[in-house]
Amino acid sequence: MGFALEAKKLEECITDRDKEAVTNAGGIDGLAQKLLTDKKLGLHGEQLTVAALAARKDAFGVNEFEYPPPKTFLSLCREAMNDVTVQILCVAAIISLSIGAGIKKHREEYGYLEGIAIVAVVCVVVFLQAWIDYVKEQKFRQLNSIKDNYTVKVVRGGEVHAVTAGDVLVGDLVELSAGDKVPADGIFVEGSKFKANEAAMTGEPLDITKDHSKDPFLLSGTSISEGSGRMIVVAVGSASQWGVILKTLIVEPSSTPLQDRLDVLVVTVGNFGVGAAVLTFMASLIRWIVHGARGGGWDALQVLEYLINSVTIVVVAIPEGLPLAITLGLAFAMRKMMADQNLVRRLEACETMGSATQLNADKTGTLTQNRMTVTNAFLGGVQYDAMPPLDVSDAYAAVLAESMAVNSDANLGRNENGTVDHIGSKTECALLQLCEDLRTSGEGRLAASDHRYAYVDLREAAVNQVVQRYFFTSARKRMSTAIAGAGGGGVRLHCKGASEIVVKLCTKMMKTDGSVAPLTPADLEAAEAAIKSMAMQGLRTLCIAYVDLANTAPGELKEDEAPEENLTLLGVVGIKDPIRPETAEAVALLRGAGVTVRMVTGDNALTAEAIAWEAGILVDGDDGLVLEGPVFRKMSQSEKESVAVRIRVLARSSPTDKLTLCNLQKSLGEVVAVTGDGTNDAPALKEADVGFALGIAGTEIAKEACDIVILDDNIKSMAKAVLWGRNVFQSIRKFLQFQLVVNVVAVSLNFISACAGISELPLAAVPLLWVNMIMDSMGALALATEPPPPDLMQRKPFGRAAPLVNKEMWRNICVMSCYQLSVCLVLLFAGKGLLDIPCAYDADGHRDCHYQTLRLNSVIFNAFVFMQVFSEINSRKITEVNVFENLDESPIFCGILVATIAVQAAFIEGVGRSVVGPAIGFMNLTAKEWVVCLVIGVVALPVGFIARHMPLEWFPGKTDSEADVEAQEAARRAVEAAAAEAALEKKDTAASLSSASTTTNHNGSAAAAAAMIVVHATTGDVHVSVPSEGGRPAAKKRWSKVKTMMDAYSAMTSPLTQTLRDSRSMARGRTPSIASSGSLNRDDLGLGLGSTPSEAGGSSS
């Protein structure tokens, strides 16, 4: 099969906007002929065979964009080597390896094995990080491919079909209407008031009219802003304008707010690890100098070992597992949310949904099934409770069917399983279905057809007669279509819209026998009663009318003003969109989770209220309000603020009302989620903390503006998004609780050992690296992939100011750290006697106490690992007592625990029995020692149980509720401080300036400044800086001194820690975030400690 036009020529035609090339091709008719398509039927006949479609793809390509190639595994390994600590360890290991292999004495003692072991462990860490980054990038690409594959309406064989954007081919006839995204480059065929917004491509915000004379080119990636029309596709995929631009783009996943907060927290925790490492090295070095000065010799290899041990402490102290945990948590949540029909477009939405307090939901499709059906009607003055009406005349049915078919942009499609697919407006689809039912029942003398719908025949009969369309807008609340030649000449205008508006434009009524009579007051009253009755049943009412303009020529119609007066009433239909079976359950679930659900709809108040009661949005005893948009708009600002949270139903609302409501709720401190489906919902979707676009009913502009696309338009999916959002935050907290215990105990143990003069530290370099690897990576994977507990939706939302480490977590961390450190210290200083570990004798009969130390260190190392294993089980819960709850539902967690124990056993018994084990700091254990280690580990469980029953007052930090109260108090103080400053500035002190007044003003300014310090400390430490009345000033003063010293220490160590942190960010393939500059000034430890020099300085000032 050959085509008369080449893909390159078509691409150049679009790129150059070359209208002459279109003319030379024979205009739109010639272009369609050369592309073997038709401007009415689209691809048809033989062009729809498999072979023809394949030939078309070979000639012009497919509509899939070529993303930049992903990073290879080896390139990710190179990036992982950017970590400064890894580089230092590698250099030190090479030096150790060189000395151990080059000097005979050390070579005979297998001194080179430690260097080999360090290099091996570093390689494992690097490969593991690279593998995780590789998998993460693949996940992002999968999500992007899903995001790019939206639904498009194409005409093939004369019928409209819904296909994915990736299936659009050159030659396809594509139907577009307001709000749609243009899937490929095309040439305008026909349309009405057809305008495109090309800001995405050209940056020009003005809407551009598309027609044959001025601008027939439609560009991929742009959107239709007004009207409807059709185009023939001429360039797809990489040959399209969007594809050409996309080739030059490299989109890197950006950090989320929670990742940035964790990066700051890494610096805070790392500050103390760096200090401990430096002090450990200095203590060891001083003892080495003293030992050498007393004649003990100057073994330089020991200094290298001290350096390796200190650098290893830094590696363990800086918890790089935190960013890994959030990456794993988000990836896990995104995958699960995808299974729950939530396509996450912006990662931060996963986190924010966990804090959502308000959900402003659309009614249609979200709370209901979005399967509109006409169930009741008031036709020709007669009430019908069953459809279709069987006693209307053919004349009446013919006009009614014509109005429903012509005055519509929707279509019906046939699925492969025989079901009918609604394409376009669901309300219009209900009318088209009624049109089909009229034909089936033999009403209206509609032509029979086995493969075409009735409305298609009616449209084709009138398609050349449509002279003007007046599209629906939120202001007009109606749509009209004018056709020529109907009703005996002139123009007939078909109108449909909001019943209470259109019925008042009517002066006549067509009876069911086809006669037309004046609309009497009694008829109007009956119509309004029918509207009210149907609305009270929860039905959406739509008034259908027409007017014959016999004396108006088609060219005399105004484009912007429809002649919608003196209409003839055909009837009012009641359309029901049945509530989803799961809606009531989902609303109840969200209410129990502290999320207020409200309905924001364009329906009238009666319809909306009926559905709200059925959905459980309105319940007995609730003080929720039902308001209408016009009433809400007329309220003063203070009145709006007073009702913004109490509203449960906002009926007859406009998109502007939704945006106003969203902004009001955010200003009141609420975390707001909004759903939207229309182009005009985009501002509210953007402004909300989390914007949900409807995947089925939503326009492409709404989907571009949102954070999450609900693929099934179901409110239950939103409830799942809240659940997984909370689970991400909870998983990070669980891992933090676990990780901080590991860091505190490991760093403290080696530091105390060095200060106590112990030459062989209990946790040597390789064992520490091993612990760091299995506890960071494996621990993050175990805790970040736990499914959400059932009671997670029964808690209050996490507040905006909630610290990452709250008081309950500090209680568990402090108690568990004290237990583990106490056990390790007892073993360190008394373990030889308690475990009866004697000194061995060498071949010459001399005592060899190195064996004794090595065996003891092996017990400490093994006991330490087992304490972490059972501490990981404890970390599954923060406040709950039963840590084994739902453990059987966490197969990944259980698998990782078993794998950790198995690998540790193999490490101790396998490597420990070889010559490698003693060379790197441990050996195999006896059965008794294994039992001791296991018992020590198991005891961590009752210790955790006891910790959860200890009073919170004994421990540092803040609870979530305390942090929330402090944030609100700080906001109040900020307002007061600003008001005080404004009052001071307004005073005119020039004439009465005196020493006393100056002092007074100075004190006033100081008071205001003090209040401002409180605001700054909101993200730092409010309750320390500003003691509350009736508190304990002495205790706060002492803590203030300690805090000042800690802030000063942080200011000294932060530059080094940030350098190490930034190198690790680059090693993970991420550019160091804005958090590095100290802008994320949060008190995530709940202790009021600065994380950066600027923060520390600010806190202590």
For residue 513, give the DSSP letter. Answer: T
For residue 763, give the DSSP letter. Answer: S
Q: Does 960 participate in catalysis according to the annotation? A: no
CB contact at 8 A, 149 and 165: yes
Helices and strands of the chain, counted as H and E runs: 40, 28
For residue 368, give the DSSP letter. Answer: B
**DSSP string of 68-96, one letter each residue:** PPPPPHHHHHHHHTT-HHHHHHHHHHHHH
Give Cβ neighbours of residue 202 (< 8 Å, ≥ 6 apart). Answer: none
The CA distance from 941 to 875, in Å, is: 10
The CA distance from 135 to 975, in Å, is: 48
Q: Tokens at residue 383, please?
A: 């009430």
The CA distance from 606 to 797, in Å, is: 32
The CA distance from 517 to 509, in Å, is: 6
User: Which candidate, 502, 501, 477, 482, places its Cα nearest to that of 492?
Assistant: 482
The CA distance from 258 to 385, in Å, is: 55
H runs (alpha helix) in 845-925: 849-874, 891-906, 912-913, 916-920
Q: How many CB atoms lie within 10 A of CB 591?
A: 16
Q: Tokens at residue 649, please?
A: 């139903």
Q: Which residues pair with 398 in a beta bridge?
A: none
- Using only C-alpha atoms, the chain has a radius of gyration, in whole angstroms, of 36
What φ, ψ does residue 405 adopt, rounded to 5°? -80, -45
SS3 of 832, please?
Answer: helix
The CA distance from 711 to 365, in Å, is: 11
CB contact at 8 A, 184 and 235: yes
**First-to-final CA distance of the chain:** 79
Q: Tokens at residue 155, please?
A: 């005409």
The CA distance from 726 to 796, in Å, is: 10
Residue with structure tokens 């993050």?
780
H runs (alpha helix) in 149-256: 199-202, 241-247
CB contact at 8 A, 371 and 571: no
The CA distance from 122 to 91, in Å, is: 11
**CA–CA distance from 198 to each of 192, 242, 247, 650 (Å)?**
18, 11, 19, 34
User: Which candidate, 963, 904, 956, 941, places its Cα nearest to that of 1082?
Assistant: 963
Cis peptide before 216 (omega within 30 of 0): no
Crossing angle (nearest 10°) for helices 321-339 and 715-755: 160
CB contact at 8 A, 738 and 606: no
CB contact at 8 A, 518 and 444: no
The CA distance from 258 to 732, in Å, is: 9
SS3 of 149, please?
Answer: coil
Q: Which of 83, 263, 362, 603 is catalytic?
A: 362
Give Cβ neighbours of residue 37 (< 8 Å, ≥ 6 apart). Answer: 43, 44, 47, 171, 172, 173, 232
The CA distance from 1021 to 966, in Å, is: 9
The CA distance from 380 to 511, in Å, is: 4
Active site residues: 362
